[in-house]
Structure 1
Amino acid sequence: MFKKLVAVEPLNLIPSAERALFDYAQEVVMYDNMPESADEMAKRIGDADAVLISYTSRLGKEALEHCPNVKYIGMCCSLYTPESANVDILYANSRGITVLGVRDYGDEGVVEYVVSELVRCLHGFGTKNNGTLREPWDGIPREITGIKAGIVGLGKSGGMVADALKFFGAEISYFARSEKEEAKQKGYRFLPLKQLLKESEVIVTCLNRNTVLMHEEEFAEMGDRKILFNTGLSPAWDEEPFAKWIDKDNVVYCDTLIALGNDKFLKHPNVNCMGVSVGRTRQAFDRLSEKVLANIEAFMKSQQN
């Protein structure tokens, strides 16, 4: 059992999971707002030996070096690589601190979002951000059937998006670090990034946080008359070439501002940003809660061996 467990910000756990935290520590402290600085983060952690954090704040060396008792950091959010994490995992590990995160808890909502917004775009349903009525993408309502869709990053969520679009009849291509046999068996084409951007009408980027693959050359190769979705927790592009590209005959969809990158784009007529994380569903919170508690159990078991 931990001596003191601190949740440094809201965790998005279901009530029963929050109550369960008290079974794992002699003292539990939970904050209902985000720390505004590294100093405040360090003060909140104090002498705690366990820390829980969501995706909205950063826990770096500058805070951790003032918290000598920490043994465990539970990320109540996705953890794919140390580079994309909002915790300085390399520093934590150098201190002997165990950092555990979760994966694959909000992907279903992402898939539904992409399908929903693509249908609205192709059919002309609803209104734009500036309040004007949409027009069908091609001037006449159109199905997903036969559309060329390129998936950039074929991890769990990218694979689920690809499968969903294929179900509706899209032709799927993808770019990843390497060709995937399972995707090949499904008939998905593995393409170099620039070729995928050029040949696809719909591009969906499903990348880890802070992964930028679309630079000026990529936007030039992609050209115009394209529909771009970014489902990550940060922009998949450099801002300057993106700004030039979105001024042309293109459209982009992001669920949150952190995926879009700059609030100056929010009122752009070719930008569609909902301002709500599409992975924040009731079912996602259930899955997240189960995995956060399972990670704590796994850590405690490892300490007993």
Structure 2
Amino acid sequence: MFRVLICDKVSEKCVAKLRAAGFQLDFVYKPSIEDLSKIIGRYDAVIVRSSTRITREVIDRASRLKVIARAGAGLDNIDISYAVSRGIAVLNAPEALSIAVAEHVFALLLTIFRNICLANNSMKRGEWIKHALLGRELFGKTIGIIGLGRIGVEVAKRAKAFGMNVIAYIRRPKKIVEELNISATFSLEELLRNSDIITLHIPLTPQTRHMIGEREIALMKDGVVIINTSRGAVIDGKALLKGLKSGKVLAAGIDVWVNEPPKETWELELVKHPRVIATPHIGSMTREAQDRVGEIIAQKIIDYFKINIDK
């Protein structure tokens, strides 16, 4: 019987599927690297989300580990190259989250463009400030999508439904551009100069860290709106805060942070900024998405052991 350690909360469908397939499951939520290192040697597979880090130190103690499974998309909390060098498979389920994250992008945008938070809070205070809440439409605006993967594609589909103009930044030709009937560019600068709204959908890598900084913000239109539901560090947060203070950036919708929860002084200032809509990394937090990700990652684990181990 294969043993699986679950380090972050997953859906009951994930748990039930693995148990039905004969896996023995143990649950140790959000262990420290030190604590995880002490127990990881007992397991054939480990499931994590974003809270638990699988470092070189942990992998060195994982004497029988075959699979590291990320119940989600991002893999920046896992030392992938070292795991692979040790013959450990790294699995994730990005296909499960695309719709939820894309919908959250528009939740943030509509909250910004229609002053939803201000309207709600004023009503609860017993105020009627209708004429102070003049908003703007998404229709006709140009949205620049940095990263046209699964989530970027879902954002583009919804943007088209709102009657928006879509520009996507891509690094190589993609057939989906023609299928979606959108514009695409190989130049990040072109996207930055021509977008009313910029939304990021890229993984965090050494190449994408601070992809948007002071220089890139300076290239943007005055009054640009920035949305980040990818990873906190793809934007230089201090540069974003500076852009908000100067008025260059009209508003920002941020769901992801360098530290989760935010703890640095500049992060807390960004959270509290009156033109920032801040959410605690909930882009993928829908019942439907969590059920999908649980079932998908469970099936990938089952398939891996069936194909590679049960021979």
Same fold (TM over 0.5): yes
- Distance in 2, Cα, partners of 1:176 & 1:51: 34
Asked if 2 retains the 8 angstrom alpha-carbon contact of 1:233 and 1:259, the reply is no
Cα distance change on mapping 1:179 and 1:128 into 2, 3 Å: farther
Cα distance change on mapping 1:118 and 1:26 into 2, 3 Å: closer
Asked if 2 retains the 8 angstrom alpha-carbon contact of 1:60 and 1:87, the reply is yes
- Distance in 1, Cα, partners of 2:23 & 2:163: 55
| 1:199 matches 2:190 | no
Cα distance change on mapping 1:240 and 1:12 into 2, 3 Å: same
Which runs of at least 4 in structure 1 moved beyond 6 Å after TM superposition?
A: 128-133
Identify the residue that residue 18 of structure 2 maps to in structure 1: 21
Counterpart among 151, 164, 170 of residue 170 in structure 1 = 164
Amino acid across the alignment from 2:299 = A
- Distance in 2, Cα, partners of 1:181 & 1:72: 33
Identify the residue that residue 180 of structure 1 maps to in structure 2: 174
Identify the residue that residue 150 of structure 1 maps to in structure 2: 144
TM-score (norm 2): 0.85
Identify the residue that residue 306 of structure 2 maps to in structure 1: 301
Aligned to 1:304, the other structure's residue is in SS state coil
Counterpart among 188, 201, 220 of residue 222 in structure 1 = 220
Aligned to 2:138, the other structure's residue is in SS state coil
- Distance in 2, Cα, partners of 1:98 & 1:48: 14
- CA deviations on 1:30-68 (whole Å, 9 max, x unpaired) are 12x3112x2111123232222222221110111111221
Identify the residue that residue 255 of structure 1 maps to in structure 2: 255
| 1:55 matches 2:60 | no
Cα distance change on mapping 1:73 and 1:186 into 2, 3 Å: closer
Q: CA deviation at 1:222?
A: 1.0
Identify the residue that residue 92 of structure 2 maps to in structure 1: 101
- Distance in 2, Cα, partners of 1:128 & 1:195: 35
| 1:30 matches 2:27 | yes
Amino acid across the alignment from 2:25 = V
- Give the gaps of 5 or more residues in structure 2: none
Amino acid across the alignment from 1:43 = K
- CA deviations on 1:84-141 (whole Å, 9 max, x unpaired) are 43221221122212221112212222222222332232233332999899x99x9743
- Distance in 2, Cα, partners of 1:173 & 1:203: 9
Identify the residue that residue 281 of structure 1 maps to in structure 2: 286
Counterpart among 41, 48, 69 of residue 46 in structure 1 = 41
Aligned to 1:46, the other structure's residue is in SS state helix
Aligned to 2:68, the other structure's residue is in SS state strand
Aligned to 2:83, the other structure's residue is in SS state helix
Identify the residue that residue 72 of structure 1 maps to in structure 2: 67
Amino acid across the alignment from 2:50 = Y
Q: CA deviation at 1:220?
A: 1.1
- Distance in 1, Cα, partners of 2:55 & 2:214: 31
Q: Count how many residue pairs are aligned between Structure 1 and Structure 2.
A: 295
Cα distance change on mapping 1:270 and 1:140 into 2, 3 Å: closer
Aligned to 1:229, the other structure's residue is in SS state strand
Cα distance change on mapping 1:143 and 1:129 into 2, 3 Å: closer
- Distance in 1, Cα, partners of 2:48 & 2:82: 16
Cα distance change on mapping 1:49 and 1:114 into 2, 3 Å: closer
Cα distance change on mapping 1:238 and 1:130 into 2, 3 Å: farther
Aligned to 1:77, the other structure's residue is in SS state coil
> Larger relative CO (CA 8 A, sep 6+): 1 or 2?
2
TM-score (norm 1): 0.86
Q: CA deviation at 1:142?
A: 3.0
Percentage of pairs with the same residue = 26
Asked if 1 retains the 8 angstrom alpha-carbon contact of 2:145 and 2:168, the reply is yes
- Distance in 1, Cα, partners of 2:70 & 2:293: 10
- Structure number with the higher helix fraction is 2
Identify the residue that residue 242 of structure 1 maps to in structure 2: 240
Aligned to 1:266, the other structure's residue is in SS state helix
Amino acid across the alignment from 1:19 = A
Identify the residue that residue 108 of structure 2 maps to in structure 1: 117
Q: CA deviation at 1:245?
A: 0.8
| 1:90 matches 2:86 | no
